[in-house]
Amino acid sequence: MNNFTKLMMLLSTLVLLIGGGFSFYLTYQGNQPVTVINMGEAGVAIEGFDTVSYHTIGAAQKGVHNFQVTWRGAIWYFSSLENRQAFSEEPEEYAPQYGGYDPFAMAMNGTIQAATPELWVIAGGKLFLFHSGRTRNLWNENLPENTSNADKQWVKLNQQIAYKARMQ
């Protein structure tokens, strides 16, 4: 192995260790609630983007407060009444996977990493939002394995959140 490869492996290991610790911190931070939906301080999911528009028009489109739904403790904005209705009828079909958090970080070690709604992919009919173009590329390099790992980590994270809620 050359020095560059060794350095990249060391950096990757450090990122995973730090990210895992950060995920643990987010999950067990005292009485602060941990949400399974990526939302801002005002409780708006995925920065107010219309999650249905990714599926219907193939674009990231901002929603408006006139068309909103509360689901899983978050406020979801939509660009039209039709999109709001579609989401209301089948939220699991339109909601981003892993609560709108970056799926690659979830796949690597269950890290909750905020995603950017403008960086997205629909694969297998499911919406995935990414933190960066790099994580999107890494995710797509091995989609089946990454999806399997992220699904397992997501279940663990939700179990931790449920446990914490019961303990409060």
- The CA distance from 130 to 104, in Å, is 8
DSSP states along 99-119: GGB-HHHHHHH----B-EEEE
Q: Is 129 helix (H, G, I), strand (E, B) or coil?
A: strand
pLDDT, residue 161, reads: 81
pLDDT tens-digit map of 72-107: 999 999 999 999 999 999 999 999 999 999 999 999
* pTM for this model (two decimals): 0.77
Q: Which residues pair with 114 in a beta bridge?
A: 101
pLDDT, residue 160, reads: 85
Residue ranges for the chain with pLDDT beneath 50: 17, 20-34
